[in-house]
Every structure is written in structure tokens, then in C-alpha cells.
């Protein structure tokens, strides 16, 4: 059984003006997501600014989210690192804190070989009992996890169950699904590619859009699973202008700006991320208004 099916939110981490994690707002966001139809919560991923958190903060956010969700939805903890020892440590701790699965981004900066990637992910998975979802995003990490490597990991390591694919390379994704006979939990890592991924046998999306439109993102997946691919495609296409605005600057700059426009108290970003440029804020606000969420 998949960790989840549908739209999982890549949840932002709200900060106070002094830079501390705003746990009061975080609890509100968790409850809003559950009420809004989200199918899973992904804590401390890219959108959650985990790369600027200390280990203590990182694990405390995971603990807090698990405690507040209370088993109502699966919680997937982002515990990746370019250091295998660190990724193992964070994953072991996340399991102890109650996470249902971990999300493992490919090691960044090191530019490991495919052999190195295999050994890294296998070492993390073998240290824990909960499922591991790989995260392939070569645009951020500088390295692609080849379809053959993902397939071998899913076949040979029991608790490596799937991948969040943000490469945009549909030929490689189709090859992966062929190599695994579709026996892999495939999630879109790009909000503008949910329906194409579902059409290849995907289980859903790990979504930035869900932060501001949880029900609508859920509905894209739900319509497809209900056999109404045309409605799913209509919903996907209707969201494209907003999705483009959400990625006109690097994530999570726009989505935090959008949430602040909606009065959700996302707070500031941590450096080196900076506030959204004024002209892009105008574009984002217009897209939100056209989509009906502002």
C-alpha cells in the first residue's frame, strides 16, 4: 500500500519576525490542511526551508507536526542531506518522533555517481523501518537519479517504496515505470505535471500549490482516480497560471508571499532567501485573484 494517494502538501514552515519557528501558526496551518482535504503532510522539505534549520529545529518541527496530526493523515518527514551520516541520523530520529515515512532528496553539491547514490539511499533505508520516498530534483541538486538506479533500489531495498519526480523528464519516468512494471509509488514533484504523472501510473503529487489551494489540488487527483481524466485535466489547466506565478521566483519565496497575502501568517524567509520582488508580487496577486483564492 502506498504511503498516500492524492495531494500531499509540501508544507511551509512559518517563522516569526525574529526568525524563530512560529509553532502557533504551524498548528493552524496543519489544521487548515487537514480540513482542506490534503491527503498527506510533508514536513521539512524544500518548501519548509529545512536547509536553513539546525538539526534541533528540524527535528522539533517534525515532532510538532506528528503530534498535531495525531495519525489523521500520513506525515512524511524530509530528512535528506548530502552527508549520508546526517541523513541516517535525521531519518532515525524522525522515525522515533512518529513520522510515517521519510523523503530523501539526492545528495546535493557532492555530485555522487549512480553507485554512490545507490549506497547512500540504501544506507538510510537500512537504518530505519518506515518507508523511504526518494526525491529526484536535479535542477536543485546537480545530479539526476537514473531510472535504473531508482528501479534497482525499489527492487532490492524493501522499504524504499517510491520517488518524488521533479526532473520533468517524462521519457525517463516512463522508463522507470516500465523497469518496475509500475510497482513503485510515483509522485509528481511539479504542480504543473500532476495529470501527466498520474497517467503514467502515479499515486499523486507532493505539492507547493496545496499550501494555498489544498482542496483544488486534491480534486485534480481525485477526479483522475475516479476515472474522469478530462475533469482532472481541466482542473490542472485551470491552475497553470497560478502555478507559474508560484514559481516565478525560487520556491518557497512566492508561496510564502501568497500565504501572507491570504493572512495566513507565513512570516519571513530565512536568508539566503529574500522577499519577493514587487513586480512579481503584483503578478502573483493577480493570478490568485483570477483563481478565486484571494
> By C-alpha distance, which of 3, 15, 14 is closest to 41?
3
Q: Rounded to 5, what percent of the chain is helix, strand, coil?
A: 50, 15, 35
Q: Could you tell me the pTM of the whole model?
A: 0.97
Domain assignment present for residue 1? The answer is: no
Mean pLDDT per 10-residue run, the chain (294 residues)? Answer: 96 97 98 98 98 97 98 98 98 98 96 98 98 97 97 98 97 98 97 98 98 98 98 98 98 98 97 98 98 96
Catalytic residue among 25, 68, 118, 135: 135
Contact 7, 214 (CB under 8 A): yes
- pLDDT for 1 equals 84
C-alpha span between 7 and 274 (Å, rounded): 28
Domain assignment present for residue 265? The answer is: no
* C-beta neighbour count of 83 within 10 angstroms: 13
> What residue numbers bound the domain in which 159 lies?
6-228
CATH number, domain with residue 78: 3.20.20.70
Instruction: Specify the number of domains making up the chain.
Output: 1
Domain assignment present for residue 254? The answer is: no
CB environment 122-149: b (16+ within 10 A), e (fewer): bebbeebebbbbbbbbeeebebbbbbeb
Is 68 a known active-site residue?
Answer: no
Is 135 a known active-site residue?
Answer: yes
Catalytic residue among 25, 164, 203, 256: 164
Domain assignment present for residue 271? The answer is: no
Give the DSSP H or E segment for 44. Answer: none
- pLDDT for 271 equals 97
Domain assignment present for residue 134? The answer is: yes
Amino acid at each position: 500500500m502506498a504511503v498516500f494517494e492524492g495531494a500531499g502538501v509540501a508544507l511551509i514552515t512559518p517563522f516569526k519576525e525574529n526568525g524563530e519557528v512560529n509553532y502557533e501558526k504551524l498548528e493552524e496551518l496543519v489544521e487548515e490542511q487537514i480540513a482542506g482535504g490534503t491527503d498527506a503532510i510533508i514536513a521539512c522539505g524544500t518548501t519548509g526551508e529545512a536547509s536553513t534549520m539546525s538539526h534541533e529545529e528540524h527535528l522539533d518541527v517534525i515532532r510538532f507536526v506528528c503530534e498535531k496530526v495525531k495519525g489523521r493523515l500520513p506525515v512524511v518527514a524530509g530528512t535528506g542531506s548530502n552527508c549520508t551520516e546526517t541523513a541516517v541520523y535525521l531519518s532515525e530520529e524522525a522515525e522515533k518522533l512518529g513520522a510515517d515515512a521519510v523523503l530523501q532528496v539526492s545528495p546535493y553539491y557532492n555530485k555522487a555517481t549512480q553507485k554512490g547514490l545507490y549506497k547512500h539511499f540504501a544506507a538510510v533505508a537500512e537504518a530505519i523501518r518506515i518507508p523511504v520516498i526518494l526525491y529526484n530534483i536535479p535542477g536543485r541538486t546537480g545530479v539526476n537519479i537514473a531510472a535504473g538506479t531508482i528501479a534497482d533500489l525499489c527492487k532490492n531495498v524493501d522499504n524504499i517504496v517510491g520517488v518524488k519526480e521533479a526532473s520533468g523528464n517524462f521519457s525517463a519516468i516512463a522508463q522507470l515505470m516500465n523497469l518496475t512494471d509500475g510497482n513503485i509509488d510515483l509522485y509528481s514533484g511539479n504542480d504543473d505535471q500532476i495529470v501527466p504523472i498520474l497517467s503514467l501510473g502515479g499515486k499523486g503529487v507532493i505539492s507547493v500549490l496545496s499550501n494555498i489551494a489544498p482542496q483544488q489540488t486534491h480534486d485534480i487527483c481525485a477526479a483522475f482516480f475516479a476515472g474522469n481524466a478530462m475533469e482532472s485535466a481541466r482542473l490542472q489547466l485551470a491552475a497553470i497560471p497560478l502555478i507559474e506565478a508560484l514559481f516565478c521566483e525560487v520556491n518557497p519565496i512566492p508561496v510564502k508571499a501568497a500565504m501572507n497575502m491570504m493572512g495566513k501568517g507565513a512570516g519571513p524567509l530565512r536568508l539566503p532567501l529574500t522577499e519577493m520582488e514587487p513586480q512579481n508580487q503584483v503578478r502573483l496577486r493577480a493570478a490568485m485573484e483570477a483563481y478565486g483564492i484571494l
